[in-house]
């Protein structure tokens, strides 16, 4: 496996996605361990884009009900558990679709893990069409995520999906 990510600092965000995709695929390589892959995934995105917070919440049933439980992440400490259909993450899970939030204060039920988070994108990660985790990215800038980000990030989460 490749062990470093090389992205030019002066590249645009869209160029960075293009440069990152093959490098991340090589970084994950043939590794089957989910925790290792999720940890390197979030570290690579943090290193490339400097997002304020990036992490996975995994669907688990260790409390008698299905809920999202915090997984590997980069950034400030965050909420541990999220109920189905609650917050942006729970809604992306329930609706099985990507959610882009321009202004978190305008999203009903948004869960504020940090007051510095201003906009957010959440992508479901699926196994056999079922959501098994979500990727959550928070920005400290308003309106930081576009449909293009959604499209490009989905190509990145597909690297996780194909290894599940
Ligand atoms: N804002 C998320 C909660 C997770 S934190 O942002 C890390 C939500 O509303 O689901």
pLDDT band at residue 4 under the 50/70/90 scheme: confident
C-alpha 127/C-alpha 94 separation (Å) is 15
pLDDT at residue 1 is higher than 90: no
* Average pLDDT value over all residues in the chain: 95
> Is the distance from CB of 99 to CB of 92 less than 8 angstroms?
yes
**111 Cβ closer than 6 Å to some ligand 1 atom:** yes
> Is the distance from CB of 110 to CB of 93 less than 8 angstroms?
no
Ligand 1, atom 5: nearest CA belongs to which residue?
113
State the distance from the centre of ligand 1 to the C-alpha of 111, rounded, in angstroms. 5
pLDDT digits 0-9 by tens, 88-136? 999 999 999 999 999 999 999 999 999 999 999 999 999 999 999 999 9
pLDDT at residue 151 is higher than 70: yes
Q: What is the pLDDT of residue 2?
A: 62
State the distance from the centre of ligand 1 to the C-alpha of 156, rounded, in angstroms. 20
> Is the distance from CB of 26 to CB of 4 less than 8 angstroms?
no
Average of per-residue pLDDT across 43-70: 96
**94 Cβ closer than 6 Å to some ligand 1 atom:** no
13-161 topology per CATH: Beta-Lactamase (3.30.450)
Give CA separation, 147 vs 6, 20, 90, 141, in Å: 25, 18, 20, 16
Report percent pLDDT > 90 for the chain. Answer: 93
Average of per-residue pLDDT across 137-164: 98
Average of per-residue pLDDT across 60-72: 96
Q: What is the pLDDT of residue 19?
A: 95
**5 Cβ closer than 6 Å to some ligand 1 atom:** no
Q: What is the pLDDT of residue 103?
A: 98
For the CA of 113, the closest atom of ligand 1 is 5
Which residue, 112, 108, 97, 105, is CA-closest to 142?
A: 105
Query: Model's pTM, two decimal places?
Result: 0.97
C-alpha 83/C-alpha 81 separation (Å) is 7
**110 Cβ closer than 6 Å to some ligand 1 atom:** yes
Which residue, 14, 120, 133, is CA-closest to 75?
A: 120
């Amino acid at each position: 496996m490749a062990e470093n990510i090389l992205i030019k600092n002066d590249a645009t965000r869209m160029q960075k996605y293009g440069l990152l995709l093959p490098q991340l695929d090589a970084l994950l390589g043939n590794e089957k361990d989910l925790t290792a892959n999720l940890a390197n995934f979030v570290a690579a995105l943090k290193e490339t884009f400097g997002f304020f917070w990036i992490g996975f919440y995994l669907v688990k049933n260790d409390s008698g009900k299905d809920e999202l439980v915090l997984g590997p992440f980069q950034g400030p400490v965050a909420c541990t558990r999220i109920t189905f259909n609650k917050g942006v993450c729970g809604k992306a899970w329930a609706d099985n679709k990507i959610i882009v939030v321009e202004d978190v204060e305008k999203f009903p039920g948004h869960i504020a893990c940090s007051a510095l988070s201003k906009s957010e994108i959440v992508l479901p990660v699926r196994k056999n069409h079922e959501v098994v985790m979500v990727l959550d990215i928070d920005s400290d800038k308003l309106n930081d995520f576009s449909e293009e980000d959604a499209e490009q990030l989905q190509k990145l989460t597909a690297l996780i999906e194909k290894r599940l």
